[in-house]
């Protein structure tokens, strides 16, 4: 095994030195990978993307092209930037081989090149040493989860992080993310706070599933996405939707935001856009929240801490993204448990590690019996 890792790293080092890199996939993952390579001093030749709408555009200042043959294809290394393998990756691999490219890899093939992922904005290369060091915390969490499916999901996610075997993770369709109606009851007068509303995709699905909802508060710090949210507010009806252009934290502070190819925004110390942040408690304490969704690309713990008064007063369902840091699973649980009582906790996956949600369900909304 040690020998294998040595030769794998040696090969990747040679690629960094000798090959021109093409990233396949001009989305959020591709943009983050481009940034990681740039920090290693390696320029990206271009993006390949089969989406016609992206042809001729640029991501992170790098041009996007349709996949095609380039003279001397052996001089290039194509890295497929998808957060899963499967049929899509297999088809891309075949297409690139047919075009004559001999050097094709998935971004997960680079997982042991830890130098590349020192500043990763999402878990592409899990920190195995950290996971093993905190193994007792995962075992502790396993004992706290409310149903067998949650325990099996945690086990599969840990196996994925340890060896990136994503095929063992049973998952629901992505459009069902946040809507786990097998574990909580729907109500007609739902008051939603959406922290990290992005372009409103979750809002769209929620409104489709809940035509008689009471109100939806969409909170988003990125001005480009706020414009799209405002457009949807006009389209769906102003009276039941509020759009808040604000970052959230556990205190008032100024944060820096990085936009990854108009596919995602992440708070980072070296971000290019400055945004003001405050606690959710500062302006939403009196909002009768029944459902609190938090997906803020790694800032979830601070947002939770800044929502303590909302959570204590209104006892909402909490659905929080638990896949941005290896320790999120148990640390998010501890934060909620220390704030309030009477909650049951569930884990559900909607793709692989990268779409795993921790649900905290108050007793009055619970639709499943606990196994503990």
DSSP H helices, the chain, are 2-18, 28-39, 87-98, 128-133, 135-144, 148-163, 201-209, 223-236, 280-284, 300-305, 308-314, 328-339
Considering 125, 144, 167, which residue would you say is the last residue of a domain? 125
**DSSP-derived pairing of the beta strands 291-294 and 273-278:** unpaired
**What's this model's pTM, rounded to 2 decimal places?**
0.90
Judgement on whether residues 89 and 169 belong to the same structural domain of the protein: no
Would you say 329 and 301 are in contact if contact means Cβ atoms under 8 Å apart?
A: no
**3-class SS of residue 217:** strand
Q: pLDDT under 70 in the chain at which residues?
A: 1-13, 15-16, 164-168, 261-264, 267-271, 368-372
In sequence order, the β-bridge partners of residue 253 are: 277
- Tell whether 372 is covered by a domain: no
pLDDT at 306: 98
pLDDT at 113: 83
Residue 15 sits in a domain of what CATH number? 3.40.50.20
User: Which range of residues forms the domain containing residue 28?
Assistant: 2-125
Judgement on whether residues 270 and 206 belong to the same structural domain of the protein: yes
Judgement on whether residues 135 and 65 belong to the same structural domain of the protein: no
d(CA 241, CA 202): 13
- Tell whether 359 is covered by a domain: yes
Q: How high does pLDDT run on average in the chain? A: 89
């Amino acid at each position: 095994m040690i020998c294998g890792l040595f030769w794998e790293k040696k090969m990747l080092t040679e690629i960094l030195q000798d090959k021109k890199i093409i990233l396949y996939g001009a989305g959020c993952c591709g943009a983050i990978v481009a940034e990681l390579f740039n920090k290693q001093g390696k320029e990206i030749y271009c993006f390949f993307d089969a989406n016609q709408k992206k042809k001729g555009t640029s991501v992170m200042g790098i041009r996007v092209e349709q996949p095609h043959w380039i003279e001397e294809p052996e001089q290039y290394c194509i890295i497929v930037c998808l957060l899963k393998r499967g049929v899509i990756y297999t088809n891309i691999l075949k297409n690139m081989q047919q075009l004559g490219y001999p050097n094709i890899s998935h971004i997960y093939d680079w997982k042991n090149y830890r130098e590349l992922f020192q500043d990763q904005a999402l878990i592409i290369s899990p920190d195995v040493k950290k996971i093993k060091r905190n193994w007792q915390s995962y075992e502790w969490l396993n004992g706290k989860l409310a149903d067998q499916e949650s325990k099996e999901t945690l086990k599969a996610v840990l196996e994925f992080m340890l060896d990136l075997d994503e095929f063992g993770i049973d998952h629901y369709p992505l459009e069902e993310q946040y809507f786990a109606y097998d574990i909580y009851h729907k109500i007609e007068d739902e008051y939603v706070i959406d922290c990290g509303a992005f372009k409103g995709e979750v809002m769209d699905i929620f409104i489709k599933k809940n035509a008689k909802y009471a109100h939806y508060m969409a909170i988003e710090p990125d001005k480009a996405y706020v414009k799209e949210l405002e457009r949807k507010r006009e389209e769906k009806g102003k009276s039941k939707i509020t759009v808040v252009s604000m970052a959230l934290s556990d205190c008032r502070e100024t944060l820096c935001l990085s936009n990854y190819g108009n596919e995602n925004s992440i708070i980072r110390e070296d971000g290019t856009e400055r945004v003001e942040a405050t606690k959710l408690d500062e302006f939403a304490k009196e909002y009768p929240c029944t459902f609190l969704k938090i997906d803020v690309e790694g800032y979830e713990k601070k947002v939770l801490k800044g929502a303590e008064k909302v959570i204590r007063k209104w006892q909402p369902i909490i659905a929080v993204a638990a896949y941005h840091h290896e320790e999120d699973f148990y640390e998010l649980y501890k934060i909620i448990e220390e704030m309030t009582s009477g909650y049951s906790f569930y884990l559900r996956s909607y793709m692989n590690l990268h779409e795993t949600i921790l649900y905290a369900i108050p007793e009055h909304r619970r639709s499943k019996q606990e196994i503990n």
